[in-house]
């Protein structure tokens, strides 16, 4: 089970990260362009990454689940009436 629901709370936890200079420049460019603070951009990027990672894990779990039937593209189109 993968948890992707990020709850909003009143308290935030500060963390420290080291970024390569080029990545920091790109972060600053996005922050300036969107008129958002670095923290906002980093938080949104982490949320998106974690959600994508969870989706990938679910897909891999289904791929390796021997009880989960594999449906071909042809079968899928037929079942959808396409």
For the stretch 6-36, pLDDT in tens is 556 567 899 999 999 999 999 999 999 999 9
**Is the predicted pLDDT of residue 4 greater than 60, yes or no?**
no
Question: Which pLDDT score is estimated for 70?
Answer: 82
DSSP character string of 33-66: HHT--HHHHHHHHHHHHHHHHHHHHHHHHHHH-T
Instruction: Give the confidence band of 1 by pLDDT, cuts at 50, 70, 90.
Output: very low
């Amino acid at each position: 089970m993968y948890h992707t629901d990020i709850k909003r709370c009143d308290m935030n936890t500060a963390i420290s990260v080291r970024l390569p200079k080029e990545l920091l420049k790109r972060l600053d460019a996005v922050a300036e362009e969107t008129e958002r603070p670095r923290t906002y951009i980093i938080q949104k990027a982490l949320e998106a990454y974690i959600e994508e990672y969870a989706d990938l894990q679910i897909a891999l779990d289904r791929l390796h689940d021997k009880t989960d039937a594999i449906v071909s593209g042809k079968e899928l189109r037929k079942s959808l009436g396409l």
